[in-house]
Amino acid sequence: MDLRLTAEERTFRDTFKTWLLANLPEGEHSGRRETDPDYMNAMRAWQKKLFDGGWAGVSWPKEFGGRGASPIEESIFLGELASAKAPERVGVIGEGLVGPTIIAAGTDQQKSEFLPRILDGTHIWCQGFSEPDSGSDVAALSTKAVLDGDHYVVNGQKIWTSFAQIADWCLLLVRTDPKAPKHKGISCLLVDMKSEGVSVRPLRQMSGDSGFNEVFFSNVRVPVHHLLGDLNDGWRITITALMNERANLGSGLYMMFKAAMDELMAKARELTQGGVPLAQNPINRQKIAQAYLELEIFKLNSDRALSQISQNAVPGPEGSILKLYWSEMNQRLVRTAMEVLGDRAQLDEFDQGRWIYRYLRSRGNTIEAGTSEIQRNIIAQRVLGLARSY
């Protein structure tokens, strides 16, 4: 057991930090994707900058234009980006999900058509998985594709699609064999979002912003050479990439939550109640310490999972433990913050409404990317070996 970074890992970190310091755009980097074209342009510019610096697709093999970084190095990369409060990476779905799936299952033509454009930010991707009637049971999806000559004709609806308002392409799961068992009748299509028959409607969340969308497909024609992998093998090829993604998210999320934690501690020292700093109230002290230790243990769990992946090469269902942990932990963290900060935290003018946003947004954490109920099922059935219940 040795938790120090190796010499290579340190070099990787230092090289990236140096680059980041020289290339990070100035100012605060937040905005609303759907309403703010300046923000969008800035995000695209940032993706291009990362690419020019050799920092796009860090974990991709070198032969496909990546940097060949190990899972631990990738985690260092994401952690440094988050701690520098760098702009959101608009290519995150392309780099994290679509690229690795194309590398694993794509044709040579698909590789040369798509991979370079993911890296340089020409193509922004979204993923069309969830549907109104298939959330947790995503394999029951009903958006269908029917072969018509050298095209598939797609009809149906997707929901909770991040980036769809601005995406150029969509990695779409469709039903191609309605008679097969549900996991075996799904195929994966690469769909141009500018195709005729695609329409996008932003979905407004309880926090007021619209990070997600509904996407409608009406007789959308997709050329057969944009089928990814074999026909009816779409579930298998995408699930691997999803599991990879789940395990690697940790360090970026940690830095994001840590920023909130640090802000909370600073506020608790600065603000008073009854003439006493909030940070001196014994109950607040207990709550803050609990939130802090839960956050740090998330980082440790995440590092331990990465260390396991590095040795065994394959991420397992253990990623579910991480997801379950961080989603519920963040909800407790933000709840604690709202309790400690008290009455004032309900106002938009307090910290620019950041706490309200975090508080409301955190409700989605235990729903998105597999609900806590689904994660517990996966842990019970695939890690502990209890019988399937559905």
Beta bridge partners, 127, equal 171
Residue 272 interacting with another protein (CB under 8 A): no
Beta carbon nearer to another protein, 126 or 374? 374
Region 346-385 residues binding another protein, contact defined as CB under 8 A? 373, 375-377, 379-381, 383-385
Residue 194 is a binding residue for another protein (CB under 8 A): no
| CA dihedral for 219, 94, 141, 223, sign (positive or negative) | positive
Q: Which stretch binds another protein (CB under 8 A): 3-11, 187-195, 202-210, 354-362?
A: 3-11
289 binds another protein (CB under 8 A): yes
300 binds another protein (CB under 8 A): yes
Closest among 133, 153, 131, 135 to 144, alpha carbons compared: 153
Tell me: does residue 179 bind another protein (CB under 8 A). no
* Cα–Cα nearest to 256, from 320, 334, 182: 334
**Taking a C-beta distance cutoff of 8 angstroms, is the pair 190, 114 a contact?**
yes
Alpha-carbon span 46 to 213, nearest angstrom: 23
Q: Is 85 in the site for another protein (CB under 8 A)?
A: no
Question: In this chain, which of 104, 224, 293, 314 binds another protein, going by CB under 8 A?
Answer: 293
The residue with tokens 């097969």 is: 180
26: annotated active-site residue = no
Q: How far apart are CA 189 and CA 232, in angstroms?
A: 11
CA distances from 26 to 20, 82, 366 (A): 11, 15, 33
Q: What are phi and psi of 130, to 5 degrees?
A: -65, 150
Residue 6 in contact with another protein, rule: CB under 8 A:
yes
Joined together, the tokens standing for residue 205 give 């969340």
Does 143 bind another protein (CB under 8 A)? Our answer is: no
Q: Does 7 help bind another protein (rule: CB under 8 A)?
A: no
CA distance 13 to 246: 22
Cα distances (Å, whole numbers) of residue 323 to 305, 336, 368, 374:
12, 20, 10, 11
In whole angstroms, the minimum distance from the beta carbon of 363 to another protein comes to: 20
Residue 290 interacts with another protein (CB under 8 A): yes or no: yes
Among 19, 216, 292, 350, binds another protein (CB under 8 A): 292
> What are the two backbone dihedrals, phi and then psi, of residue 213, each rounded to the nearest 5 degrees?
-145, 165
Q: Does 2 bind another protein (CB under 8 A)?
A: yes
Report the residue number, 158 or 246, with the smaller CB distance to another protein. 246
User: Out of 245, 296, 349, 368, which one is annotated catalytic?
Assistant: 245
For residues 296 and 348, which CB has a smaller minimum distance to another protein in the complex? 296
CA 66 from centre of chain: 19
Q: What is the secondary structure of 10-26 as a DSSP string? A: HHHHHHHHHHHHHHPPS
Closest by CA position to 234, among listed 139, 150, 333, 161 = 139
# of chain residues touching another protein (CB under 8 A): 49
332 binds another protein (CB under 8 A): no
For another protein, the binding residue among 45, 256, 265, 360 (CB under 8 A) is 265
Q: Considering only residues 268, 333, 334, 337, which one is a binding residue for another protein as defined by CB under 8 A?
A: 268
- Pairing relation of β-strands 272-273 and 276-277? antiparallel
Give the burial string for 225-262 (b: 16+ CB within 10 Å, else e). ebbbbebbbbbebbeebbbbbbbbbbbbbbbebbebbe
Question: Among residues 26 and 389, whose Cβ is nearest to another protein?
Answer: 389
**Given the complex with another protein, which of 161 and 366 has the nearer CB atom?**
366
State the nearest-atom distance from the C-beta of 69 to another protein, in Å.
Answer: 13
Binding site for another protein (CB under 8 A): 1-6, 9, 72, 265, 268-269, 279-280, 282, 285-286, 288-290, 292-294, 296-297, 300-301, 303-304, 306-308, 311, 321, 324-325, 373, 375-377, 379-381, 383-389
